[in-house]
Structure 1
């Protein structure tokens, strides 16, 4: 395990952009595989859906989250607990709602939905996904901002996001039309 950690640290040092985007794509597609094989066992596996999650993670989620963490660290640079709390508040209240809506919109486009289909999905699922995120992310982000160095924040949040993305995959596909957390 130490060898893997060293190899990853070397990749981060030499190719931070590529490493983080590939990590995001691989972990998001892993979440979809888990969702399809554990939660949605009765339906046939859809490799195109998993590919969409890889593309979404590496081409949309990864770049945005990477830049967001750099921005937050510059904006709230003091190593104080109050700064970490400010980061969580800004992250969850100002960033998360539009970001999650954008992720949902891009996924809808990757699925081939037209503009009306994208709008309908955003209306039906957007705020429910934000509500679920507010239940899931604040505590892990506080840990992230308090204890994880900037270099590894992306890896930490991408790893924590595996469970979140299982939910997101379920929620955004036919088996997830009714939310367990926020019923209609």
Structure 2
């Protein structure tokens, strides 16, 4: 009973440390994924990179990475953090049925998350809201399908074996691979 009141009395302040860790994990994962994506795309003749004095790597567009990171920190992190906490509160536990419900919740909420990412990246690039709507309608189905093939396995492992406060770190490790794909899709003209 005392432990319950101690957690309740801390309120939002008990979420600061996990939120900071989540922000660092997601921001790093997205930025690293974009960096790797740009490295893999470096030989494509259609890739136009404006070389910058801040980078000694001729293929790296640091502005693109900055946009990806900004979107992750300001849009993806609040959404992911809130979704993970809400789903855990609604479906607590590590039994198979709870894990299945959590995975289903994430799959059902994925279109919102993907739309937020595509929209924020498009707007941060200086494009219009109609460009963002076009991007979402054009790339959402393919991205949603790819995510539905990739994330259920990651989610199962994460929900079953990883404590709540460390799930963002494990998810971010898998997310780096996912973010290579997302960076490619989000930055494709």
The TM-score bracket by the shorter chain reads: 0.7 to 0.9
Give 1:100 shift: 0.9
2:23 and 2:77 in contact (8 A); partners too: yes
Structure 1: state its 5+ residue gaps: 1-11, 178-184
Once the two structures are superposed, what CA deviation does each residue of 1:10-60 show, in whole Å capped at 9, x if it has no partner?
Answer: xx9973222221221121111100000123334432110000111111111
**Structure 2 counterpart of 1:76, from 66, 91, 114:** 91
**Structure 2 counterpart of 1:16, from 15, 18, 25:** 18
CA separation of 1:103/1:13 partners in 2, compared to 1, >3 Å: closer, same or farther? closer
2:119 and 2:129 in contact (8 A); partners too: no
Matched, 1:137 2:159: no
**Structure 1 counterpart of 2:34, from 23, 32, 35:** 32
2:158 and 2:170 in contact (8 A); partners too: yes
Number of corresponding residues? 163
Aligned-partner Cα distance in 1 for 2:174–2:181: 12
Give 1:168 shift: 0.7
Aligned-partner Cα distance in 2 for 1:79–1:15: 23
Alignment of 1:94-173 (within 5 A): 94-173=108-187
Aligned-partner Cα distance in 2 for 1:136–1:64: 19
CA separation of 1:125/1:140 partners in 2, compared to 1, >3 Å: closer, same or farther? same
Alignment root-mean-square deviation, CA:
1.8
Structure 2: state its 5+ residue gaps: 1-13, 48-58
Aligned-partner Cα distance in 2 for 1:13–1:133: 28
TM-score (norm 2): 0.80
1:23 and 1:58 in contact (8 A); partners too: no
Aligned-partner Cα distance in 2 for 1:14–1:64: 15
